[in-house]
Amino acid sequence: MVELKTDTSIDAMREAGRIVGRALTAVRAAADVGVSLLELDEVAREVLREAAATSPFLGYRPSFAPTPFPAVICASVNDAIVHGIPTRHRLRDGDLVSIDCGAELNGWVGDSAISFVVGTPRAADLRLIDTAERALNAGIEAAVVGNRIGDIAHAIGSVCRAAGYGIPDGFGGHGVGRRMHEDPPVPNEGRPGRGLPLRHGMVLAIEPMLIAGGKDDYHTSPDGWTLRTNDGSRAAHTEHTVAITQAGPRILTARN
């Protein structure tokens, strides 16, 4: 069931989204060669503490997971697509890092993700990240009243496929509100004009995931969480929480 949010609720979700934006900005600033993923998780925890917010990630355990998630960020490096668990791994020059973070404030959730390179970037990685951001922007532009979920999916998928990248099957965006994952699912590839109509008050987490090697295959690491590319190629992940409004899409996790 899809819950339509009131304008007041959307404003409250924007406050949660501001915290997510601050956390991601702080993590990006702290990420450097030699910094551990656990240290980045602590940076995000401090932002949440200062804002009196909680993490919808910490302790989260969906049906596929063998254990509750132990951190407030997902930290996915190089061939990890999403759901990477922060560890003592220290970042190396040229690592491609994707950070996913959420915040819950006054009962409302914000969810967002960024990808970036630590140290000296490879041109191929910058192209991958740029394409992920363009795919996200295309999905957001399609998130208008009168369109359908398939229009968002088609916009994202068209950008990814035109650039020659793979899209992990079965993973994509979702509704968000009182809970981190709500209806409806938002695929990263689909047919335009199909699926649920978009209405004022719907709030969606739109999140492209790209595989540099061009294939869609992936596997789950032994930790039961981290998804990795089968061919060892690198991956990128971007995400915003977006409200569908009569005035157009409203990004609730925009970073200042």
* Residue 254 to residue 45: CA distance in whole angstroms: 19
Residue 15 token pair: 């406050």
pLDDT, tens digit, 9 for 90 and up, residues 178-225: 999 999 999 999 999 999 999 999 999 999 999 999 999 999 999 999
Sign, CA dihedral 112-217-142-125, equals: positive
Closest CA to 256 of 17, 12, 22: 22
Check residue 183 and give its pLDDT. Answer: 97
Cα torsion angle, 45, 51, 54, 55, sign: negative
d(C-alpha 38, C-alpha 80), whole Å? 16
For residue 241, which phi and psi values (nearest 5 degrees)?
A: -90, 125
pLDDT by residue (tens digit) across 39-97?
A: 999 999 999 999 999 999 999 999 989 999 999 999 999 999 999 999 999 999 999 99
Q: Residue 108: pLDDT above 80? A: yes
Q: Which residues pair with 166 in a beta bridge?
A: 211
d(CA 96, CA 77): 6
H or E stretch including 42? Answer: helix 37-50
pTM of the shown model: 0.97
Alpha-carbon distance of 64 to 56, in angstroms, equals: 17
* 118-171: pLDDT as tens digits: 999 999 999 999 999 999 999 999 999 999 999 999 999 999 999 999 999 999
178 φ/ψ sector (left φ>0, alpha ψ -120 to 50, else beta)? alpha
Confidence label for 256 from pLDDT (cuts 50, 70 and 90): confident
Give which of 251, 175, 171 is closest to 210, Cα–Cα.
171
Task: Yes or no: say if 26 and 35 are a contact pair by the CB < 8 Å rule.
Answer: no
Per-residue confidence (pLDDT) for residue 161, from 0 to 100: 98
